[in-house]
Every structure is written in structure tokens, then in C-alpha cells.
């Protein structure tokens, strides 16, 4: 039987009521976003995996504190950012590895040469992203990759909406200088 998608509000309500399946569905839903942000912050696959696990555990245990003022996505990404920053402060870098991109590069339905070019460009930009200061890097990632609004980015980075916008644009400007 085909699984019927459950809306997020229902999932959260069920998870808070003790439905382990709903809780795990929420974890699954945000796993990729949390890992991607942690990886951008830490630049290390193993540490990002640890930060993802810490963030998910913190989110699960703190679910009763989620008031719904912000979206669940914003809430869990803020937990992820804090987990990653905290982990980064405690540990030195172990193995900085090239950030791996998913297979579904934009333009996948294009001809193989275009797909290869897109992938190469994506990998190059991803490497350059590491050269940005942390707040600019996170703002650029959250906006360009996760599609969040400046207000949401401000909530995650614990800064104003205006500061989030400035960090994004400074980051993009710097990346453009680096890519020339």
C-alpha cells in the first residue's frame, strides 16, 4: 500500500505525544539538511556526522521546548549549527576531506558534457566556500543551498535579519571574486 505523506504539524504533534515512528520520520526528514549544514561549518565528514547525531539527540530530547514560534526546520537547523560549532571548538580537525556532492547535480537531464561541467563547477565553488568567514559561509549555504529567508537565517545564526542579508551578500561577492 502506498504511504500517505503526513504533514509536518501532524508529525510534530504525534512525536510530542510519544509516537516513536513520527519522531523518526522527523529525524529522517531533516537528516540531510542538518548534515549539510554541519559539514559546511566543520569541513570534516566524520565530525559532521557526529554533529548530526548530537543535533538529532538534542532535538529529540528538547522537542517539548519547541514552541512553534519559528518553523521546525529553522529550529532544528539552529540546534545543528550550535552542535557543529560546539564540536568544532572541542576538537581539532581530523581529516578534512573534499565535500562530496550528491549525484543529482542540477541539469542532470542535460547532455553528459553539461552535467560534467555543472558538477565540476559545483565542486569548485564548494571548495571556495571554505575560504569564507564562518557566518558568511553559513549564510550563503542556508540561502543558496537550503533556500531559507533572511529572517530564518537570522534565527539560526542568532543575528538580525539585516545582518543575515549582509553576510549572504558579502559571501556571494567574495565567492565571485574568487571564481574569476
Partner 1 sequence: MTELACAWVRDRLPPRSRDGLDVADAARLEQHLAGCADCRAEATLVSALAVPVAVPPELEAHVLRAVRKQPAVANGAGGVRHYALAASFVFALLTGSLLWQQFGARPSPATIDGAVEAVLALPVGADALLHESGLQSLSEDELRTLLEELGS
Which residue ranges make up the site for partner 1 (CB under 8 A)? Answer: 15-20, 23-24, 27-28, 31-32, 35-36, 39-40, 45, 49, 52-53, 56-57, 60-61, 63-64, 99-106, 118-119, 121-122, 124-126, 129, 140-141, 143-147, 169, 172, 175-176, 179
Least distance to partner 1, CB of residue 61, Å:
6
Give the total residue count for the chain. Answer: 180
Q: Which is nearer to partner 1, 60 or 70 (CB)?
A: 60
Q: Where are the alpha helices (DSSP H) in 20-71?
A: 20-42, 45-61
Residue corresponding to grid cell 529567508: 149
The number of beta carbons lying within 10 Å of the beta carbon of residue 89 is 7
Q: Which is nearer to partner 1, 24 or 159 (CB)?
A: 24
Q: Which is nearer to partner 1, 52 or 74 (CB)?
A: 52
Least distance to partner 1, CB of residue 24, Å:
6
Looking at residue 28, what DSSP letter applies? H
Q: Which is nearer to partner 1, 48 or 88 (CB)?
A: 48
Q: Which is nearer to partner 1, 15 or 79 (CB)?
A: 15
Q: Which three cell numbers stand for residue 160?
A: 538580525
Least distance to partner 1, CB of residue 143, Å:
6
Task: Judge whether 82 and 123 are in contact, CB under 8 Å.
Answer: no
Residue corresponding to grid cell 554533529: 51
Least distance to partner 1, CB of residue 42, Å:
12
- Give the CA radius of gyration of the chain: 17
Q: 125: Cβ–Cβ under 8 A, 6 or more apart, which residues? A: 175, 179
Least distance to partner 1, CB of residue 145, Å:
5
Amino acid at each position: 500500500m502506498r504511504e500517505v505523506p503526513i504533514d509536518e504539524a501532524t508529525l510534530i504533534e504525534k512525536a510530542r505525544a510519544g509516537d516513536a515512528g513520527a519522531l523518526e520520520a522527523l529525524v529522517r526528514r531533516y537528516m540531510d539538511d542538518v548534515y549539510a549544514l554541519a559539514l559546511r561549518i566543520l569541513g570534516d565528514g566524520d565530525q559532521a556526522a557526529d554533529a548530526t547525531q548530537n543535533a538529532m539527540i538534542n532535538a529529540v530530547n528538547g522537542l517539548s521546548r519547541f514552541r512553534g514560534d519559528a518553523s521546525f526546520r529553522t529550529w532544528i537547523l539552529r540546534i545543528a549549527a550550535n552542535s557543529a560549532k560546539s564540536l568544532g571548538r572541542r576538537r581539532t580537525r581530523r581529516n578534512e576531506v573534499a565535500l562530496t556532492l550528491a549525484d543529482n547535480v542540477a541539469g542532470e537531464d542535460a547532455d553528459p558534457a553539461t552535467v560534467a561541467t555543472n558538477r565540476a563547477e559545483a565542486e569548485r565553488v564548494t571548495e571556495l566556500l571554505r575560504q569564507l568567514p564562518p557566518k558568511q559561509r553559513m549564510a550563503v549555504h542556508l540561502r543558496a543551498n537550503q533556500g531559507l529567508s533572511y529572517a530564518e537565517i537570522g534565527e539560526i545564526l542568532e543575528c538580525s535579519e539585516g545582518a543575515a542579508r549582509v553576510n549572504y551578500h558579502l559571501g556571494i561577492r567574495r565567492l565571485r571574486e574568487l571564481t574569476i
